[in-house]
Structure 1
């Protein structure tokens, strides 16, 4: 999963590599600059030469700082799609399993942790690779013989650390599980303190919690023991080469290495190689292990993706629900319960009911966004979830507008159609003028909620869909603008389903569906006034001035 996320953006990987070369410039130059500043400059009595070499090293650090900023931006361009993929997987799994919002929120936090850890791992591994490469190349060109003292312990320390990573990942995952189990047990206990005291069950509950605490502490101790390997790896791979170079100074001097070269070699080790290895050890040891542990939790918690259903073009825009039941969880009360409903092609249906009655759920079921736990929803004889996406459009209350030109926002469901007739039909000319024309860039945050809704409504009007579902999609418009929108969609043809926000929406519809928990009633406004006390009550609470 991680490799796919990195290599699917080869352009960004190349960008990361190019800027990393510049960022690693000081790692290559530091030893040469120090050696030449001493031997050709200060030791030879040429202060200007010595300062010149040090100034060159300072300039390399400036270049490296500028390159580091570009590396961060390039890594972000790789990490954000990785986060989006994980979040999509989590949300799709939650929808299929009917998980509640708290489970989705917890999974979302895990995704954020995975994204941050992924970015840290990419940054750390890249930094180590280029820095170590620069140091080794610098040593090779400054004092090749010193590599005999540096490479063996460096390779041994690096190998020791890499071999410890699988065990470290397992211990980290065990610690995370123990920590979560303790937190869950504490939460349950805190919620039942009154009952625990009333039943005199304090000792038993305390013993059970003590067991959780001990399990979490044992997992922490086991993790700490493995973590100690990181310190040993850093000592062997980073600091032992420093000791060996110091101890081998007479041998290096006998081979022609002067004091400047020895100091330059120590600069390579202490200022570049040791910090790079330290960054790798702590970066992979913390962020890398956290990434593996978090991804394993996400993958293990996500149900397998079902095979993609083939999309079919419906024969028409008739919507049929047969025995449809839907609940947001295995133990939740059904929001829609054994509903039978037929919306003929060309019908105009308004859906009304108290808050929480399931109106938005019904709209999502009709559109195929949600799949019923029992029963069947079809569009033109095709299961709603398998219907071609161009067959229907669902506009929710919070309309989606993206950063792009106004024309792109209006026409991306209609393959570049002329937006003018739709804009005129829905009365949106003033909005086009206010934004600055069809070619003007749209900033979603700069639009009001009503303006975003109007953009989405024009987009739906332009689409080829014969089924339009408006889930309070005009609630932020004034009553006159809402009336014009709904009249335009009625004249447009096809099937129109409106989750009503105002009484006028219900009055304009040919039929009205009243939802009240598991009970539903269908009829005209006059019929429902006579047959349903709930509808009469709802109609009485709507503002009279909105009724034409």
Structure 2
């Protein structure tokens, strides 16, 4: 916990912190005056037969409350200046760590959970801790000063059990921290399992693996539920500690009432002490327990998870491709889970440099899975996937470019969207690439390369055209189009595929239309039990599934294959 506490303390900016401390002084007035005003109102006012004096003391209490309200308002105004810089720093750490892991080919399954949920948990809890700890200190200092002023004997009865309750509560924080860590890890496992299942929805539905998918997420969900039940037991411990620190002082003062009166302590002083306990120390203790026992532990544990991931040393650089960029699959088997039916089984495939392969088959048969394996996004359960003689997952991303079905465009200029895989490319080359893949008219309509792009105003086909230009400009020698032209018409699809076929390098097309197979040098047919590889004419003779997919097409209707 030392690292997390050190981070929290060093994250406090000096000027907002001094402002917060300064405005805490007027806020402490009600806590200091509370019991004192009640004691004087009773002894010097109502019991002495001077009700106006008693009302005047209660009026002073009201005025101190107004001063405290002004201080509290200014405290909350300064809170944002303390908290938001910490949140911004954590976002930078999470994003930087995830990018480093991705660049090294190491999956960071918890990055989404850390960025979308855990950073916000830390931000909210950090603000809550500042408010709770500051309010607790303000109340305790004010109440202690007031107790010592009206009757030190009463203070000796109240403060020891109060401090004992605080100490007992602090002693439980170690156990509580362990349970919170378990809850955070369980939350990440649920996010990872759910993400895996959702990413494979199409293949799961095609294979009828819904029950297995449910079992994949059932274990993490049960683990998270057990962790949450463990957290609920912490409330029981907090209740016991609160009984010692919050109620035992009250019992002590009431039990010692006759002794206090015999010792010269006035009824107003006893009532003032009880007021400090009931309306000052008890609420402050309850807020502290709730803050540190709930928000505080979640803050420390969640912050620790973020810092652990962000502070991992940078992995060694991936090896360069020593033998070109030929792709080879040897006995590759892949399934979405240990008990699921394999999507690919024992697949052998060679893609020599400069090849043009179309992959066809029914929906959910494993075509996108094959693309993920070639690009190193998935690891095979058995067999190997090699690019240039190296394992695909260890090859630099610059060797391959993947265009998925749902193309991505971001706010920025048209040039930014087209060149972020190759930022130094000159404008004439960018325009030539747009012309080659059939996107020149789109670039012109958008206002040219310097025009601002609004992704929400683009159609799905226009986003695909931009992504095609982006991939065409990429230096990657292996291009994988995973139904990357499904929102284009057949003529536009043909222009784009022929441009990529003429581009230097290897092209793999996960076919959306069977016409992609006519343009390819070779075709891979996946049927769920095996694979057939050959050219268009040969597969028409040897593969019943390919003949079925071709359907009403004929060689006379189809474009001529690319030489």
Q: Using structure 1 for the length normalisation, give the TM-score.
A: 0.67
Match of 2:29 in 1: 32
CA distance in 1, matches of 2:2, 2:465: 42
Match of 2:245 in 1: 237
Shift of 1:348: 1.1
Contact 1:120 1:283 in 2 (8 A): no
Match of 2:527 in 1: 516
CA distance in 1, matches of 2:5, 2:474: 36
Structure 1's unaligned 5+ residue stretches are 97-103, 178-215, 298-304
Aligned length: 482
CA distance in 1, matches of 2:469, 2:3: 38
Shift of 1:277: 3.2
The answer as to 2:475 corresponding to 1:464 is: yes
Shift of 1:167: 4.4
The answer as to 2:131 corresponding to 1:127 is: yes
Match of 1:532 in 2: 543
Deviations 1:446-476 (A, max 9, x none): 5433333333322222221111111112212
Match of 1:474 in 2: 485
Write out aligned runs for 1:10-409 (5 A). Answer: 13-14=11-12, 27-32=24-29, 55-67=66-78, 77=88, 121-135=125-139, 152-167=160-175, 227-238=235-246, 274-286=282-294, 311-314=318-321, 315-409=323-417
CA gap 1:228/1:356 in 2 versus in 1, 3 angstroms: closer
Q: Bigger CA drift: 138-147 or 518-527?
A: 138-147
CA distance in 1, matches of 2:448, 2:140: 59
Match of 2:193 in 1: none
CA gap 1:276/1:18 in 2 versus in 1, 3 angstroms: farther
Contact 2:29 2:65 in 1 (8 A): no
Match of 2:503 in 1: 492
CA gap 1:10/1:546 in 2 versus in 1, 3 angstroms: farther
CA gap 1:163/1:53 in 2 versus in 1, 3 angstroms: closer
CA gap 1:444/1:19 in 2 versus in 1, 3 angstroms: farther
CA distance in 1, matches of 2:101, 2:324: 34
| 1:476 partner SS | coil
Deviations 1:221-247 (A, max 9, x none): x98776433123224434666788999
Q: Bigger CA drift: 375-384 or 342-351?
A: 375-384
Q: Bigger CA drift: 65-74 or 239-248?
A: 239-248
Contact 2:94 2:115 in 1 (8 A): yes
Shift of 1:513: 1.0
Match of 2:418 in 1: 410
Quote the RMSD (CA, aligned, Å).
5.6
Contact 2:122 2:302 in 1 (8 A): no
Which residue, 421, 435, 438 being the options, matches 1:424? 435
Contact 1:367 1:393 in 2 (8 A): yes
Match of 1:195 in 2: none
CA gap 1:468/1:73 in 2 versus in 1, 3 angstroms: same
Match of 1:183 in 2: none
CA gap 1:28/1:294 in 2 versus in 1, 3 angstroms: closer
CA distance in 1, matches of 2:448, 2:70: 48
Contact 2:29 2:67 in 1 (8 A): no
CA distance in 2, matches of 1:65, 1:435: 46
Contact 2:28 2:68 in 1 (8 A): no
CA distance in 2, matches of 1:21, 1:456: 51
Deviations 1:16-41 (A, max 9, x none): x86677667765423426878999xx
| 2:348 partner SS | strand
Deviations 1:408-456 (A, max 9, x none): 3333321443353333333334544565655566555554333333333
Shift of 1:269: 6.9
Q: Bigger CA drift: 47-56 or 278-287?
A: 47-56
Deviations 1:61-93 (A, max 9, x none): 3334444566675676577679889999999xx
CA gap 1:296/1:26 in 2 versus in 1, 3 angstroms: closer
CA distance in 1, matches of 2:489, 2:279: 66
CA distance in 1, matches of 2:397, 2:133: 46
| 2:172 partner SS | helix
Q: Using structure 2 for the length normalisation, give the TM-score.
A: 0.66
Match of 1:200 in 2: none
CA gap 1:543/1:528 in 2 versus in 1, 3 angstroms: closer
Q: Bigger CA drift: 26-35 or 521-530?
A: 26-35
